[in-house]
Structure 1
């Protein structure tokens, strides 16, 4: 009996060990599978610039920590519509805590987890909700662009400043314990007295200080690397880049890679082209924005033929009709979207326009046209006060298109030269019932509705 008992005990222990071993293997395989799925998800991200960017907020979105969940609930639909990236507002804790839109940053590493500045959560939600949003966006093939505010800070305590001989609010002791700052890190200081980047009276970071550079992009847990590696952001929108030299944004982006665009708020196309060349990244095409304002608010479509950043370098131009700071194009705004979604550059859509103010079916149709038809360089075919016609000449598998924008109060039609000989074409907006066939010489007559547009391509 004793021998049998020992025997059975040994058998039982062996089975338990094998079972535990199998469980460990299964757990490990499950873990590896999860990691593989994460990797597959990452690899499945749409290429930024292949579709359309969504600015996933507007000024004064609802407070109360709900916004991350609101956006999370929309990313699936956005992805299906053809969006390839979402641009979030500044994600870290700012001076105005639960009420701040994030542009007065205090603690770059508090994503809604420390009770400081009057709240634990940010205006938009908690860190876990932000992480869940980013994961959900990635699972839907969308990249996530962080709004980077590194010109100015707010919320520091008062300290006696030896450089100004006054008291300044430059003593920063964030609860995260990361990137503490003092008078030595802001203008003026012992290294650099230039304060040309001062914005709204906020403390102005000195990017020439090695300590500031280390915390913004050089250290292994710098803002740039933490946002990229831990928070899993895929790209960067740099706020108020007029406040610092182009090399700052360039070095930040080079430290981590990814898509990058700067807010250089200037209508001068030469200045925008200079900045994109120096910073080696994209810029919002304010030259295009102001020409569209002149065209649609000033009722003179001739402005659309003038110079813009996308005409200089479409790979560096992010075109837009409205954003959280400026929304002046009110008359026939859908025509402005018809313009940027059929032309070169990387178009960005404003949340409020898409979700609230404009016809979503028309917006989705234009996004589809952009993603499936718009390719190749641009040839202007006709421009006057009321009418604008241009041709995208096609590239690769995309046959190109002809867009006809009509700002008059009646139907208009014109003969135009296409790239297609003896081909039946149609208006992919459905605004026209015609399906004409181009002549052997590639000419055809097309039309556009009053205060409307049509987009033509081979059937």
Structure 2
């Protein structure tokens, strides 16, 4: 027995060496696979040169087929001028196959582990998600991940020694990654929203170094796994009011990629402040609310009001609707005509594009945005039901957009940037082809409850 033990001790280091070598080889193979299975990033369109597609809506069909649905559309979207798709939160949440992902439980379960009542997420399996990302990349589209960093859900109860109360802060996900307990959450989380709770969920404490390491700093952090293994290219940060701007800034500085935050506030100054602190883009809620006031309230003078795109167009992501605001209101196509001819990075909402509005008209506006809408903006005229603005051109001729919220045709003399030049309406709503005067003035027209976009023929 002693001889046998001695032989085992002699053989053991060799076995450990071989096992380690094998593990290193497997890891190398995994690293190679992670670089290829989600397609090549070399040919991706630069984000911001086209239009983003929000590739979901609230309560998309359950059953695990959403990734396949989106996969079947990405090439057509790319052909239309989309440059990136924004996907819903992709990992397993408390409500399993019924969840839209905003109640995150396991940041590393993309539809692989049997937990929370299902293997797949509402949207599909990990394999199907990787296939979608690969197809998007092959179609030259970047893929934006929706990241929920404020709150977690689905933990087991444990006593928090800080307050002596039982809280739902014990997380032991089947992936075995980023296990959590009360130390990782705000110790006073269960008192009110300002001190660490969102919708009854415990809030992560980003001041904890371990939380930072697990979320973005470590080589196998959430951020790096999303980017290097799954193939995501950028980030949409959910509910950034719930934590400090430096969290988003550090994440972005660590892993790179296009980043935009959901700071739900209609004050353009506040959005500009947050964007500056986080050093990323922000959804332009100020623009959203002013457009709703203008088109639904029949007062296009509201388009003169302050918006993030007017303060910092390079940081403004404009939108007409999203999964939280997917209401149908009067003048929605006029609102799309506004954001797709003005500064900022515009977003198309899936339901508007695929179901509710004219895809042909939206494709036309996307083309106009990508080919004509360059340079800064000059507002030429506004009243209750008319709005005229000029894009002054940057590596292109620019354009003039005329929006009409009245029930009758309208005409107006406006000053362009073009002398003695024949122009036309690139929407096809008017068949006029006037020639601008030597002083660059010209009369243009617009149909009722519609818009026209003018540029040199």
Structural mapping, 1:78-89, within 5 Å:
78-89=77-88
Name the SS of the counterpart of 2:197 in structure 1.
coil
Alignment match, 2:69: 70
Asked if structure 2 preserves the Cα contact closer than 8 Å seen for 1:261 and 1:283, the reply is yes
Alignment match, 1:237: 236
Alignment match, 2:315: 316
Asked if structure 2 preserves the Cα contact closer than 8 Å seen for 1:187 and 1:194, the reply is no
Alignment match, 2:335: 336
1:198 shift after superposition = 2.1
Residues 36 and 208 (structure 1 numbering): CA distance in 2 closer, same or farther, change over 3 Å? Answer: closer
Of 430, 433, 445, the residue aligned with 1:432 is 430
Alignment match, 1:213: 212
TM (norm. structure 2) is 0.91
Name the SS of the counterpart of 1:114 in structure 2.
coil
Structural mapping, 1:84-103, within 5 Å:
84-103=83-102
- For residues 153-175 of structure 1, what are the alpha-carbon distances to aligned partners after superposition, in whole Å with 9 as ceiling and x for unaligned? 00000111112211111000000
Residues 106 and 35 (structure 1 numbering): CA distance in 2 closer, same or farther, change over 3 Å? Answer: closer
Alignment match, 1:11: none
Distance (whole Å) between structure 2 residues aligned to residue 374 and residue 102 of structure 1: 35
Structural mapping, 1:152-171, within 5 Å:
152-171=151-170
Alignment match, 1:402: 400
Distance (whole Å) between structure 1 residues aligned to residue 364 and residue 99 of structure 2: 35
Distance (whole Å) between structure 1 residues aligned to residue 195 and residue 335 of structure 2: 35
**Number of residue-to-residue matches in the alignment:** 424
- For residues 400-429 of structure 1, what are the alpha-carbon distances to aligned partners after superposition, in whole Å with 9 as ceiling and x for unaligned? 000000000000000000000000000000
1:455 shift after superposition = 0.2
Asked if structure 2 preserves the Cα contact closer than 8 Å seen for 1:297 and 1:329, the reply is no
Name the SS of the counterpart of 2:326 in structure 1.
coil
Name the SS of the counterpart of 1:447 in structure 2.
strand
Task: Verify: 1:415 aligned to 2:421, yes or no.
Answer: no
Distance (whole Å) between structure 1 residues aligned to residue 163 and residue 180 of structure 2: 17
Alignment match, 1:8: none
Deviating more after overlay: 155-164 vs 119-128: 155-164
Deviating more after overlay: 148-157 vs 38-47: 38-47
Name the SS of the counterpart of 1:152 in structure 2.
coil
Task: Verify: 1:292 aligned to 2:291, yes or no.
Answer: yes
Distance (whole Å) between structure 2 residues aligned to residue 194 and residue 212 of structure 1: 20
Q: Which has more radius of gyration?
A: 1
1:199 shift after superposition = 1.0
Deviating more after overlay: 260-269 vs 41-50: 41-50
Alignment match, 2:5: none
Asked if structure 2 preserves the Cα contact closer than 8 Å seen for 1:392 and 1:402, the reply is yes
Alignment match, 2:373: 374
1:286 shift after superposition = 0.2
Distance (whole Å) between structure 2 residues aligned to residue 448 and residue 181 of structure 1: 59
Alignment match, 1:451: 449
Alignment match, 1:269: 268
Distance (whole Å) between structure 2 residues aligned to residue 264 and residue 92 of structure 1: 22
Alignment match, 1:107: 106
Name the SS of the counterpart of 1:220 in structure 2.
coil
Distance (whole Å) between structure 1 residues aligned to residue 124 and residue 35 of structure 2: 29
Distance (whole Å) between structure 2 residues aligned to residue 378 and residue 160 of structure 1: 57
Distance (whole Å) between structure 2 residues aligned to residue 448 and residue 223 of structure 1: 50
1:194 shift after superposition = 9.4
Asked if structure 2 preserves the Cα contact closer than 8 Å seen for 1:183 and 1:189, the reply is no
Asked if structure 2 preserves the Cα contact closer than 8 Å seen for 1:296 and 1:336, the reply is yes
Name the SS of the counterpart of 1:327 in structure 2.
coil
1:189 shift after superposition = 6.5
Name the SS of the counterpart of 1:330 in structure 2.
coil
Asked if structure 2 preserves the Cα contact closer than 8 Å seen for 1:187 and 1:195, the reply is no
- For residues 95-132 of structure 1, what are the alpha-carbon distances to aligned partners after superposition, in whole Å with 9 as ceiling and x for unaligned? 00000000000000000000000000000000000000
Asked if structure 1 preserves the Cα contact closer than 8 Å seen for 2:38 and 2:230, the reply is no
Structural mapping, 1:22-41, within 5 Å:
41=40
Residues 37 and 118 (structure 1 numbering): CA distance in 2 closer, same or farther, change over 3 Å? Answer: closer
Distance (whole Å) between structure 2 residues aligned to residue 279 and residue 235 of structure 1: 15
Asked if structure 1 preserves the Cα contact closer than 8 Å seen for 2:37 and 2:134, the reply is no
Alignment match, 1:360: 359
Distance (whole Å) between structure 1 residues aligned to residue 304 and residue 456 of structure 2: 25
TM (norm. structure 1) is 0.90
1:40 shift after superposition = 8.9
Structural mapping, 1:4-23, within 5 Å:
none
- For residues 59-80 of structure 1, what are the alpha-carbon distances to aligned partners after superposition, in whole Å with 9 as ceiling and x for unaligned? 0000000000000000010000
Distance (whole Å) between structure 2 residues aligned to residue 300 and residue 276 of structure 1: 29
Structure 1 unaligned runs (5+)?
1-33
Residues 222 and 37 (structure 1 numbering): CA distance in 2 closer, same or farther, change over 3 Å? Answer: closer
Residues 69 and 38 (structure 1 numbering): CA distance in 2 closer, same or farther, change over 3 Å? Answer: closer
Asked if structure 1 preserves the Cα contact closer than 8 Å seen for 2:334 and 2:450, the reply is yes
Residues 450 and 189 (structure 1 numbering): CA distance in 2 closer, same or farther, change over 3 Å? Answer: closer
